[in-house]
Amino acid sequence: ENCVLLYGHNPRGTSKDPAGSFCFTPESYLYTTTTHTFTTTSITSTTTITEIPELVSITDVTFTDTHPHPWTLSGLISWTPPSNLENVLHYVVTLSHDELNTGGTELADPSLSTQVPVGSNSLQMMPHVWRKTLLLDYPANFIIVRAFRSDLGRLQPLTQAGIAAIYDVSSEKPAETSKLLSLSFIPEDEASDRWVGTVAWQRQPGADVGFISSWDIYLAKDVKGSGKRLIASKPADVYKADISVAAEAGDTCVLIYARNANGLSQLPQSAYLRDDLRPLVTSSGGDQFNLMQNVSFADGSAVANKISGLVTWSPPENLTGVTHYEVWQAADAENSYGTQLWDFNDGNPRTSIPVGTNQMNVMECWRVTTATGIPAVKIVVIPRPNLDTSTWGSTHLWDDGGTVPQAIELTTFTFSGYDSEDKIGGTLSWSFLDPVLDSGSLTHFAIYFALNANGWYRKFHTYVPVTDLSYVIPDSTVKGSENCLLLYGHNP
Question: For 214-268, how does the pLDDT look when each residue is reduced to its tens digit (9 = 90+)?
Answer: 999 999 988 778 889 999 999 988 989 999 999 888 888 899 988 999 888 877 7
State residue 243's pLDDT score.
Answer: 92
State residue 230's pLDDT score.
Answer: 95
Which residues of the chain are under the pLDDT cut of 50?
Answer: 26-29, 31-32, 40, 178, 280-289
State residue 181's pLDDT score.
Answer: 65
State residue 286's pLDDT score.
Answer: 38
Q: Would the CA dihedral through 395, 449, 102, 239 be positive or negative?
A: negative
Cβ 343 vs Cβ 351: under 8 Å? yes
State residue 35's pLDDT score.
Answer: 54
Q: What pTM did the predictor assign?
A: 0.51
State residue 28's pLDDT score.
Answer: 44
Q: Which residues contact 289 (CB under 8 A, 6 or more apart)?
A: 316, 317, 318
State residue 341's pLDDT score.
Answer: 93
